[in-house]
């Protein structure tokens, strides 16, 4: 399961970072706007944090991206049959 968790975290990290960089936003400015610490944002982008859905949702809002779009990209990257268990 640990490998799958890391795979999920890394896929999410790439997606979040891509959107932030496309908007040319700094982590500090973006995280401040939604009340997250820069360290939380940084850890998500580095794949070191397993964020709650509400955190992902807030990040999506800060990036002006629907949460469903991030979920769709995760499904595309990981496969629709990807599960964290076993």
Domain CATH code at residue 16: 1.10.260.40
* Tens-place pLDDT, residues 7-33: 999 999 999 999 999 999 999 999 998
Q: Is residue 84 part of a domain?
A: no
Q: Is residue 85 part of a domain?
A: no
Q: What's the CA gap between 76 and 70, in Å, rounded?
A: 10
* pLDDT above 70: residue 86: no
Average pLDDT over residues 44-53: 93
What is the reported pLDDT for 1?
59
Sign of CA dihedral 22, 13, 67, 82: positive
Residues 6 or more apart in contact with residue 21 via CB below 8 angstroms: none
What is the reported pLDDT for 72?
94
What is the reported pLDDT for 22?
96
Q: Is the pTM of this model over 0.75?
A: yes
Q: Specify the number of domains making up the chain.
A: 1
Structural domain including 20 reads 2-78
């Amino acid at each position: 399961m640990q490998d799958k968790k890391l795979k999920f975290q890394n896929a999410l990290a790439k997606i979040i970072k891509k959107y932030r960089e496309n908007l040319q936003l700094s982590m500090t400015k973006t995280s401040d706007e939604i009340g997250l610490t820069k360290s939380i944002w940084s850890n998500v982008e580095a794949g070191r944090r397993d964020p709650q859905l509400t955190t992902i949702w807030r990040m999506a809002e800060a990036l002006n991206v629907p949460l469903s779009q991030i979920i769709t990209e995760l499904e595309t990257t990981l496969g629709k049959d990807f599960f964290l268990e076993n």
